[in-house]
A and B are shown apart, each in its own frame.
Chain A
C-alpha cells in the first residue's frame, strides 16, 4: 500500500472563491425570500410581541418597571393597569421600544407595605404583559446597611459552614486509609447531590430568562465549557508534576472552586429572593442551613487528608468555597439577573461534575492495590444520604 503524497495546503484565490460561493448564494436566497416571501404566506393575523419585565423597584408612592422588548419587532406601550385600575404612567426613553431595547416605566401609585400587586401592560396591539409583586416593600438601595446585610448573609450561607467543615481536618487525618477512601467516596456522593441540585436550579432560572437568550442552551455552554476547561487544566498538571500530593491538593482546590460557584448561585438566589420580598421563615432554618452546608467543607478537605496542606492553603480553599456566596448575594440583591444566575449555576454544575470525575480517578488509584467495592458503594451513598437527610429537617 503506497502512501498518498500529502499535497501542500495552499490558500489560493480559487479556494477563496469556493469558500465564498455558498455565502454569496445564501445572501441571494435571503434577498429572494425577503422580497417575494419565497411562496409562503407569512403574514400573521396578530403581531408577535414579547416583553420581558426584568425587575421592579418600589420607592415611596412609586412603582418602577424595567422592561426589555424581546420580540421580533418594536413594541408600543399604550396603557397600564395595576390591580384592576388603569393608571397613568411615564416611560423613558420612549413609549416605542425597539427590539431588544430597554425602557423604564414610572407609575405614581400609593402602594401599601406587605400587600400584593399585579401590573398589566397593554401594547398598542392589545397584547398584555404582566408582572406580580407578591409582597410590596421598599426595594433595597445600594447603601452601606444593605451592603453589610448581604455580606452577613453570604458569611452565614457560605463562609462559616465551609470553614466549620474544614475544622474537622485534624481529627480526620488520624483515620486509616480505608476510612479516608470512604470519605473520598462520601465526598463524591455529596458532590453528585450538589451537582444535581445546581443543575435543577439552573433549569429553574432558565425559565425566567427571556427566550431570546435561550436559557437551556446557556446551561449547556456554561456546564460543558467549565467541565472541559477544568479537565484540560487538570491534565496539564498531571503532565507537568508527577507529585501525587500536589495533584491531590489541586483537586481539593477544584472542589473548592466547584462549591464556590454553587454558593455563588445560592447567594444570587437569596439576594434575588430578598428583592422580590419572599418572607423569612425563622432562625431554625438558618441553623439547619449551617448544618447542611458544613458538609461542603468536609468535601473540600477529603482529598488532602493524608497530606499536610498548609493552614494558608486550607484558609484559601475555605474562602474560595464560601466567599462567592457574599458576591452572589450582592449581585442578586442589587441587580437580579436570571441570565447571570443561569450562567453561574451552569458553571457551578460543570465544575462540580468535573471534580466528581477527578475524585473518581483518585479513588480508582487507591483501589488498584486493594479493591473495596462496598466501601465505595457505602461512601457514595452516605454522602448523598447525608445531604438528603439534613435536607429533610429544613424543607
Chain B
C-alpha cells in the first residue's frame, strides 16, 4: 500500500512531522493512554455483580437480553434437558425409544436485536438431546416442515439406509412436507451427535440443525450431582461463511450473564459436543480447576486430567470435576477470540 505514495501522502507526512515539531502532542500524554487502563484479564475472575458494574464496562458482552420466550427455548433449560423418548418394550424384550422430530424454519434472536433465519429441529438450537442406554432401539419419526430438503444423520452404528445422507435412499433426502423413520440400535455407548446432512452441508449445520446423542453404558456411569449438556456452536449472521458469534447452547454470553449455580464438593459431569462450523477447532477451558476427560465417552477410564481440551467439528467428550472453593469461575473457549465473541460462561460455586 505504501509503495505508491501520492502527492497528498507526501503532504500528510510532511504536515505530521511539522505537527510533531510543533510539540502539540506531548509524547507522554500519548503513552499514558496505552498504560492506564485495566486490562480485561485482570477484571474477569471477580464477583458476578461486577459484570454489570458501570465501572467495568470494558468486559466484552452483548447489549441487552434475547427474548427466550419468543425463541421458544432457554440455554439454561437445554443444559439439563435430556430426552429419553417415549419408552416401550419390543417383543424381543429390547427397549424402544420413540421420538418425534420436526425440522422447520424459525426466526431466532441469536444476540439481542439480531434475528437469525434459523433452521431447527423441534424449534430449538441445539435440537433435543436424545438419550438412551446402550442396546436400546431408537425410532425417530422425522418430518420435514420446512421448505428445504433435510435429513438426520446420526453418529453411531447403523445400516446404510439409516445414515441420513444423500444417496442412501429416502432417508437421505427428506423433501419438504415428507417424513421418514430412522431406526437403529443405540451403539456404541458414549457421547455422540446428530445433524442434517443435506447439501450444502456447511450451511445446513450452521443454520442450527444439530443436537447431542448420549448413549449410556449398560452398567451406567458413576452417579454425580449434576449432569449438563453443552453444545458448542456459532452463528454466521451475515452469511459470509465466517462465524460472527459463538456460544454454548446457542446463545452467546448466556452463561456469563446467567452463571450456572453449583456447590462446593458437588460432582459435575458435562457432556461437551463441538458442532462449530467454519472454524477449524473449538475448545473448553475450566478456571481454577482440573477435570477428568473421556474423549467421545466411549471408555469408562479417563484419558487425561487437564483443564483445557480442544475439539474439531463433531468431536465430543465427557468432563468430570468438583470445585474445592466457593467463588466465580469462568469456563470458555481457550480460543480467546471465540470467548470474547460470546463463548464464555461462569460457574457460581457456593458453600
Chain A residues in contact with chain B, CB under 8 A?
58, 60-61, 76-81, 84-89, 95, 108-115, 122, 124-128, 136-138, 140, 145-146, 148-150, 152-153, 156-157, 197, 200-201, 204, 266, 269-271, 273-274, 278-283, 285-286, 288-289, 329, 391, 394-395
Taking the nearest CB of chain B, how far is it from the CB of A327, in angstroms?
A: 14
Structural contact, B40 and A79, CB atoms closer than 8 A: no
The stretch that binds A, out of B18-26, B77-85, B282-290, is B18-26
Taking the nearest CB of chain A, how far is it from the CB of B206, in angstroms?
A: 13
Which one of A109, A140, A156, A278 lies within 8 Å of B13 (CB-CB)? Answer: A278
Cα A334 to Cα B18 with chains together (Å) = 17
Chain B residue contacts of A61, Cβ below 8 A: 36-37, 58
Structural contact, A270 and B341, CB atoms closer than 8 A: no
Taking the nearest CB of chain A, how far is it from the CB of B201, in angstroms?
A: 22
Structural contact, B12 and A269, CB atoms closer than 8 A: yes
Structural contact, B58 and A113, CB atoms closer than 8 A: no
Chain B residue contacts of A282, Cβ below 8 A: 13, 17
Structural contact, B39 and A285, CB atoms closer than 8 A: no
Given the contacts A110-B37, A149-B24, A391 and B7 also touching, CB distance less than 8 Å = yes
Which one of B11, B31, B57 lies within 8 Å of A266 (CB-CB)? Answer: B11
Q: Is B320 close to A, CB under 8 A?
A: no
- Using a CB-CB cutoff of 8 Å, which residues 1-33 of chain B contact chain A? 5-25, 29-33
Cα A279 to Cα B9 with chains together (Å) = 10
Chain A residue contacts of B303, Cβ below 8 A: none
Structural contact, B19 and A149, CB atoms closer than 8 A: yes
Chain B residue contacts of A281, Cβ below 8 A: 13-14, 16-17
Taking the nearest CB of chain A, how far is it from the CB of B5, in angstroms?
A: 5
Structural contact, A85 and B8, CB atoms closer than 8 A: no
Apart from the given pairs A85-B337, A125-B114, 7 other A-B contacts in the complex at a CB distance below 8 Å: A78-B114, A79-B62, A88-B61, A115-B34, A149-B23, A152-B21, A279-B13
Structural contact, A79 and B13, CB atoms closer than 8 A: no
Structural contact, A153 and B18, CB atoms closer than 8 A: yes
Which one of A78, A138, A152, A395 lies within 8 Å of B33 (CB-CB)? Answer: A138
Chain B residues in contact with chain A, CB under 8 A?
5-25, 29-40, 57-63, 111-116, 237-238, 244-245, 252-253, 337, 340-342
Chain B residue contacts of A111, Cβ below 8 A: 33-34, 37
Residue in A closest to B337 when the chains form the complex, CB atoms:
A84
Cα A282 to Cα B24 with chains together (Å) = 16
Cα A76 to Cα B64 with chains together (Å) = 14
Given the contacts A111-B33, A113-B30, A137-B33, A85 and B60 also touching, CB distance less than 8 Å = yes
Chain A residue contacts of B21, Cβ below 8 A: 152, 283
Given the contacts A86-B62, A127-B238, A280-B20, A286 and B33 also touching, CB distance less than 8 Å = no
Cα A394 to Cα B13 with chains together (Å) = 10
Structural contact, B57 and A88, CB atoms closer than 8 A: yes
Structural contact, B111 and A79, CB atoms closer than 8 A: yes
Chain B residue contacts of A85, Cβ below 8 A: 60, 337, 340-341
Cα A179 to Cα B88 with chains together (Å) = 110
Structural contact, A285 and B113, CB atoms closer than 8 A: no
Structural contact, B13 and A395, CB atoms closer than 8 A: no
Structural contact, A60 and B36, CB atoms closer than 8 A: yes
Chain B residue contacts of A285, Cβ below 8 A: 10, 13-14, 17
Structural contact, A329 and B36, CB atoms closer than 8 A: no
A-B contact list, 30 entries, CB within 8 Å: A78-B111, A79-B114, A81-B341, A84-B341, A86-B245, A86-B252, A86-B341, A87-B61, A88-B57, A112-B35, A113-B30, A125-B114, A126-B114, A126-B116, A137-B30, A138-B29, A138-B30, A149-B24, A156-B15, A157-B11, A200-B6, A269-B8, A270-B12, A270-B16, A273-B8, A278-B16, A283-B21, A288-B10, A394-B10, A395-B9
